[in-house]
């Protein structure tokens, strides 16, 4: 299992509390910096996730760690008849998401504050569940995955989009130069929270990816687990379902 990287390592607060504080701090700048840091690739990756979800025509969709709501809003636009919920710890991020929903005239999408490790939903409620760049922020990964399995309907799809580490030369070496040097520097220059992007870089490097995350998903009880690296392996899309 990965080391438990936290945003504010001198803080006595739990990882969950620190992550909530961090995203509250950077909520206003998150979208713009995310586009810059990923060189716009995150938009393309999300489109693939949306296609995977929407082709199954789910009636109830949960987007966990929804952040500023991009994934939930795009799914809601593609599936106007579906009940789409975006859940996040950070009220600051949710406030941005709700404003986007109003601007895009998508009032039916519900954004709720909640804990991924204690989901406020009954068993087997959702046809599809997504987590985009948020699963590495779980304080207890396996607890969060068990909750996701609980609220997913049998036969429902679970899709994760998360950063990963390229394994081949020279992309692996280039990734570490970028993630350990350039990304934190950009964060320090442009972000109000000077340590947030250092944490995001370190947590991405330490989080299990590829076959390692597949094994964890299978251990929890997911079936039909698969992963597809994106853009030379800097991100990966994982899919799984419930028996």
137-176 pLDDT tens trace: 999 999 999 999 999 999 999 999 999 988 878 878 887 7
Mean pLDDT of the chain: 92
Reported confidence tier of residue 59, pLDDT bands at 50, 70, 90: very high
Range of the domain at 110: 15-163+208-241
pLDDT value for 201? 82
Is position 59 within any domain? Answer: yes
pLDDT value for 9? 83
CATH number at residue 87: 3.40.50.150
pLDDT value for 189? 76
pLDDT at 234 over 80: yes
pTM attached to this predicted model = 0.93
If one counts the domains in the chain, the total is 1
DSSP for 196-215, written as a single string: HHHHHHHHHHHS--THHHHH
Reported confidence tier of residue 194, pLDDT bands at 50, 70, 90: confident
More confident residue, 33 or 212: 212
Is position 180 within any domain? Answer: no
pLDDT in tens, 107-132: 899 999 999 999 999 999 999 999 99
Q: Which residues pair with 118 in a beta bridge?
A: 115
pLDDT at 2 over 60: no
pLDDT value for 1? 43
Reported confidence tier of residue 75, pLDDT bands at 50, 70, 90: very high
Average pLDDT (226-240) is 95
pLDDT at 103 over 60: yes
**Separation of alpha carbons 198 and 70, rounded Å:** 23
**Separation of alpha carbons 124 and 121, rounded Å:** 9
Is position 195 within any domain? Answer: no
Helix (H, G, I), strand (E, B) or coil at 130: strand
Contacts of 92 (CB under 8 A, 6+ apart): 23, 24, 25, 27, 28
């Amino acid at each position: 299992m990965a080391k438990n990287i936290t945003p504010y390592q001198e803080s006595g607060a739990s990882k969950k509390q620190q992550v909530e504080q961090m995203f509250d701090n950077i909520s206003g700048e998150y979208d713009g910096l995310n586009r810059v840091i990923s060189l716009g690739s995150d938009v393309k990756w999300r489109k693939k996730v949306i296609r995977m979800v929407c082709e199954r025509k789910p009636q109830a969709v949960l987007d966990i760690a929804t952040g500023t709501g991009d994934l939930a809003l795009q799914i809601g636009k593609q599936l106007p008849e579906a009940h789409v919920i975006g859940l996040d710890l950070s009220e600051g991020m949710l406030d941005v998401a709700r404003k986007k929903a109003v601007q895009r005239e998508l009032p039916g999408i519900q954004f709720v504050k909640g804990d991924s490790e204690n989901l406020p939903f009954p068993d087997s409620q959702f046809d599809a569940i997504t987590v985009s760049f948020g699963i590495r922020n779980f304080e207890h990964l396996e607890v969060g995955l068990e909750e996701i399995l609980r609220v997913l309907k049998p036969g429902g799809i679970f899709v994760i989009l998360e950063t990963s580490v390229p394994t081949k030369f020279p992309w692996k070496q280039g990734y570490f130069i970028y993630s350990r040097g350039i990304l934190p520097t950009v964060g320090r220059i442009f972000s109000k929270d000077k340590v947030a992007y250092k944490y995001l870089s370190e947590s991405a490097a330490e989080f299990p990816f590829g076959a390692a995350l597949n094994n964890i998903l299978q251990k929890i009880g997911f079936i039909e687990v698969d992963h597809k690296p994106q853009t030379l392996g800097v991100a990966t899309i994982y899919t799984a379902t419930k028996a």
